[in-house]
Amino acid sequence: MPASSQNKIRIGSHDRVFVLTGAGISAESGLKTFRDDGGLWAGHRVETVATPEAWEHDPELVWQFYSQRRRDATASEPNAAHRALAQLEKQLGERFFLCTQNVDDLHERGGSANIVHMHGELFKSRCEDDCGSPILADEGNYESLDEVPRCKCGSRIRPHIVWFGEIPLEMPRIEKEIERCTMLLVVGTSGAVYPAASFVHWARRRAGSPAQTFYIGPEAPLNVNAFTEVILGKAGERLPGLFEME
Ligand code: BV8
Ligand code: ZN
């Protein structure tokens, strides 16, 4: 286990900061993580409702799952961790990049702008056959299939979410940002899901000087050994005031 520190993270004038967040950063906003309740939703293993197979087999159940997630996200507020990252973005400008595995919109509501949702976004939908029609902003709650809108091509719309077995979004941009960051901060993720769990390894093993890598969360993630420093604690308590500009 790398050194856990109470220190501040000093950011120099030439540093480029890549931040990866997971469900843990939204925990203090009242949103359940994937590991909470044993990773179950309404008795279904999350991995079973968040797959293309589930969509083929029971699209009504999938829309009930994401409609509940939409209601939960609407009922929650960004926390101090979301706001601390938005403030860091303002201080660093284009030397800051935020990649989240979360599909909720709490980072944006916390003030973040330069952000990539590698696993999609809760309040967006698209054509299930990717016929080319644009991705839609969609706050709808669909409890039964006949409520689910149709695309102009006639196919059903699906959540604009990356399910298990599907390719994450914006990987080329993410890989470029990992290549050029000097510091990688990972906040509130168990390191159980790939390729996100590999980012810290990519930042350590890339050509040239390895990036400094920090983990912030209440417990060590599965990929803990790839971090140069672990800062144990809740994100909402540890992120505010953690950064010091040199
Ligand atoms: C892909 C959207 C090819 C859906 C999500 C076998 C071995 C290795 C990999 C695989 C394998 N079999 C299959 C795979 C690949 C698979 C995978 O990784 N499966 C796992 C289960 C083994 N991955 C895929 O299918 C991915 N696609 O690989 O395509 C490819 C590869 C490379 C390049 C191109 C293509 C697609 C995966 C995306 C699936 N969709 N989300 C939805 O949200 O409904 S993943 C979903 O689960 C989340 O987005 C997130 O990524 C993951 C949950 O993890 P966490 O966010 O870490 O949450 P978790 O609950 O686990 O942990 C919470 C953490 O918070 C804990 O550590 C806790 O300590 C901490 N915490 C708690 N409170 C706080 C806190 N931290 C801070 N503050 C607090 N207060
Ligand atoms: Zn269509």
Over residues 109-121, the pLDDT tens digits come to 999 999 999 999 9
pLDDT more than 70, % of the chain: 94
Cα 151 to averaged position of ligand 2 atoms, centre (Å): 5
Res 35 pLDDT > 80: no
8 A C-beta contact, residue 20 and residue 228: no
**What is the CA(110)–ligand 2 centre distance, in A?**
33
pLDDT category of residue 42 using cuts at 50, 70 and 90: low
User: What mean pLDDT value characterizes the chain?
Assistant: 93
Q: What is the pLDDT of residues 128-146, one digit of tens each?
A: 999 999 999 999 999 999 9
The set of protein residues with a Cβ atom below 6 angstroms from ligand 1 is: 22-25, 27-28, 33-35, 47, 50, 101, 103, 119-120, 161-168, 171, 188-190, 192-196, 217-219, 221, 234-235
- Nearest-CA residue for ligand 1 atom 7 is 194
Sign of CA dihedral 16, 21, 27, 29: positive
Ligand 1 atom having least distance to the Cα of 49: 44
Query: What per-residue confidence (pLDDT) applies to 34?
Result: 84
Contacting residues for 26 by C-beta, under 8 A, at least 6 apart? 33, 76, 79, 82, 102, 104, 106, 188
44 among known catalytic residues:
no
Contacts for 196-205: CB closer than 8 Å, 24+ residues apart: 196/20, 196/22, 196/101, 196/118, 196/168, 197/221, 197/222, 197/223, 199/18, 199/20, 199/99, 199/174, 200/226, 200/227, 201/226, 202/175, 202/178, 203/18, 203/178
Q: How far apart are CA 246 and CA 236, in angstroms?
A: 23
Contact 116, 174 (CB under 8 A): yes
Q: How far is the CA of 123 from the centre of ligand 2 (A)?
A: 18
More confident residue, 214 or 34: 214
Q: Mean of the pLDDT values across residues 211-225? A: 97
Range 94-98 average pLDDT? 98
User: pTM of the prediction?
Assistant: 0.96
Report which bound ligand comes closest to the CA of 131: 2
Which of the pair, 127 or 206, is modelled with greater confidence? 127
The atom number, within ligand 1, closest to the CA of 191 reads 57
The residue whose two tokens read 């906003």 is 29
Q: Which ligand is nearest to the CA of 152?
A: 2
